[in-house]
Chains A and B, each alone.
Chain A
Amino acid sequence: GQSLEQPSEVTAVEGAIVQINCTYQTSGFYGLSWYQQHDGGAPTFLSYNGLDGLEETGRFSSFLSRSDSYGYLLLQELQMKDSASYFCAAGSARQLTFGSGTQLTVLP
Chain B
Amino acid sequence: DADVTQTPRNRITKTGKRIMLECSQTKGHDRMYWYRQDPGLGLRLIYYSFDVKDINKGEISDGYSVSRQAQAKFSLSLESAIPNQTALYFCATSDRSPTSGRLGEQFFGPGTRLTVL
A binds B: yes
Binding site for B on A (CB under 8 A): 4, 8, 30-33, 40-45, 48, 50, 87, 89, 91, 94-101
B102 & A42 in contact (Cβ 8 Å cutoff):
no
Q: How far is the CB of B71 from chain A (nearest CB, A)?
A: 18
Binding site for A on B (CB under 8 A): 33, 35, 40-45, 48, 50, 56, 58-59, 88, 90, 101-111, 113
B104 & A48 in contact (Cβ 8 Å cutoff):
yes
Q: How far is the CB of A31 from chain B (nearest CB, A)?
A: 5
A33 & B105 in contact (Cβ 8 Å cutoff):
yes
Task: From the candidates B50, B108, B113, name the one contacting A42 in the complex (CB within 8 A).
Answer: B108
Q: How far is the CB of B57 from chain A (nearest CB, A)?
A: 11
B103 & A40 in contact (Cβ 8 Å cutoff):
no
B110 & A42 in contact (Cβ 8 Å cutoff):
yes
Task: From the candidates B40, B56, B102, B108, name the one contacting A48 in the complex (CB within 8 A).
Answer: B102
Write 13 A-B pairs (CB below 8 A) sorted by A numbering. A31-B104, A32-B104, A33-B104, A41-B111, A42-B110, A87-B42, A87-B43, A94-B50, A95-B45, A96-B45, A96-B106, A100-B40, A101-B42
